[in-house]
Amino acid sequence: MRRPSARLSRGSLGDQEPGQDYRGRFANEKDFALKPALCVAPQTQCYSANEHMLVTVQQHILQQQEDQFPAARGNFSSLLSGMTLATKMIQAKIRRAGLADILGSAGATNVQGEAQQKLDVYANQAVLHCVGARESVALLVSEENEEPITIDQSPEGKYIIVFDPLDGSSNIDVNVSVGTIFSILRRPDDVHGESAVLQEGWKQVAAGYVVYGSSTIFVYTAGQGVFGFTLEPEIGAFVLSFANMKMPMRGNTYSTNEAYSDTFPDSYRTYLNNMRSRGYGSRYIGSLVADFHRILLKGGVFLYPPTKKNPHGKLRLLYEANPLAFIAEQAGGQAVAGSQRIMDIKPSSIHQRTPLVIGSREEVIDFHRIHSAASVGA
Ligand code: FDP
C-alpha cells in the first residue's frame, strides 16, 4: 500500500508513548494532569460545547504529548487521526442508512462465519484506507479479514492496529447504535506477521471506540486516563466532551443476553440471581460498544459468559475485550474472563474468543468472589 508522508508537528506522541506499564495491575488509578485550559476533574466532567473553548481530539492528543513526550515524532497521533477520519466516514454512511443503498447483507460471510452487512464491508475499507496509509503502521488486523494485512516490514513499521470496524452490525438495519473498536500495539522488534499480534492486552499502547448513537462519540485512552469527544456536525470535528472519565464504582443494572442464561455456567447464574435479589435492573442493547458506553457513564456490569453455542464466549479478545478492558481499567473499572484478568490473557490466535465480564469495579469484584468460590467448591 502506498503511503503519503504523514509526519506531524513536533510535540505529538511518537516513539515514547505511554501504555507500557500495565502488567499485573487491575486498575490504574493514576490521574493525568492536563494544562489548566482542559480542566481535569476527579470524576468525569461533561463539557458543553462552547464555541470559544473547543478542544478537538487532535488538539487534545497533541497537547497531551507536548506535556509528556516533547521529543516524540508524531507517528502515533497520526494513527489516531487516521482512526478518527475513518470513523467520520463511517458515521456519515450510517446517518444515510435508509436513504442510500447501504442497508442489508453484502451476500458474503466473514471469517467468523457471520453474514457480512454492506456497512461492515464499507467500514472495513474505510479503516484500512485511512489507517493503512499512515506512516509507521506495520500490520492491520480486522474482524473482517482472516489474516493480518502486512503494511510495512521495515523497522519503521512500529505499530499494529487491531480493530472491529462495525461492532453490533446485526443492529444496523433497525437503527440501533453500533460502534467501531480499535487497539494499538507496538510491533516487537524483529517479529512480523501473526506472532507479532499475539500480545497480552496490558501491552496495548492505546485503545478506543466510537459509538454511533444519538450522537457520535469517540472515546480513547493512551494509558493516561480516558477521554470522550462528541462529533460536532457543524464543523466535522470530534470535540472534547468528557474529560478524565471515571466509571462509577457500582451501578444498578446488568447487561447480558438472558435468553442464554440456562446454558451459562453456574457461577454466572448465581451472580445474576444475586443481583436480581438486590433489585438490579437489566439493560441489553446487543451492541457491545453501546452497552459498554452506558456502563462507562452510569456504572453496572456487562457479561457475555460461555454458552452452549459459544463455549469459549462469543466476543473477540484482541479487538473487542482487550480495548474495552483497557478503557475500563483506566476509568477505574475492571474486566475478567472467569477468574482471569482480560488483559493478562496470552492470545493464541488473532480471532480468539473469550468470555467477558466488564464494568464497575465493585460489580466485577462481586462476580469474581462468587466465581472463585464456585471454582473452589467444584
Ligand atoms: P453482533 O453479533 O451484532 O456483531 O460481537 C458482536 C456482537 O454483536 C456484540 O456487539 C454484541 O454485544 C453481541 O455480539 C451480541 O450477541 P448476542 O446476539 O448473542 O446477544
Q: What is the pLDDT of residues 107-156, one digit of tens each?
A: 777 666 676 778 999 999 999 999 998 889 999 999 999 999 999 888 88
Answer whether 32's CB lies under 8 Å from 39's CB. no
Supply the pTM of this predicted model. Answer: 0.86
Q: What is the pLDDT of residue 78?
A: 87
Instruction: Name the residue with the closest Cα to ligand 1, atom 12.
Output: 288
The best mutation among 143, 167, 171, 358 to test binding of ligand 1, ranked by most ligand atoms within 8 Å of the C-beta, falls on 167
Task: Give me 312's grid cell.
Answer: 469459549
Distance CA 309, CA 99 (A): 36
Instruction: Name the residue with the closest Cα to ligand 1, atom 8.
Output: 168
The best mutation among 288, 315, 356 to test binding of ligand 1, ranked by most ligand atoms within 8 Å of the C-beta, falls on 288
CB neighbours of residue 24 within 10 Å: 9
Stretches where the chain sits below pLDDT 70 are 1-53, 68-72, 100, 104, 106, 110-113, 115, 377-378
- Please work out whether the CB of residue 258 comes within 6 Å of at least one atom of ligand 1: no
Q: What Cα–Cα distance (Å) separates residue 53 from each residue in 47, 81, 120, 253?
A: 10, 20, 35, 35
Residue-wise pLDDT for 155-202, tens only, equals 888 999 999 999 998 888 888 999 999 999 999 998 889 999 999 999
- Please work out whether the CB of residue 286 comes within 6 Å of at least one atom of ligand 1: yes
For the chain, counts of helices (H) and of strands (E): 8, 19
The best mutation among 291, 293, 304 to test binding of ligand 1, ranked by most ligand atoms within 8 Å of the C-beta, falls on 304
Residue 285 Cα: closest atom of ligand 1:
12
Instruction: Name the residue with the closest Cα to ligand 1, atom 1.
Output: 168
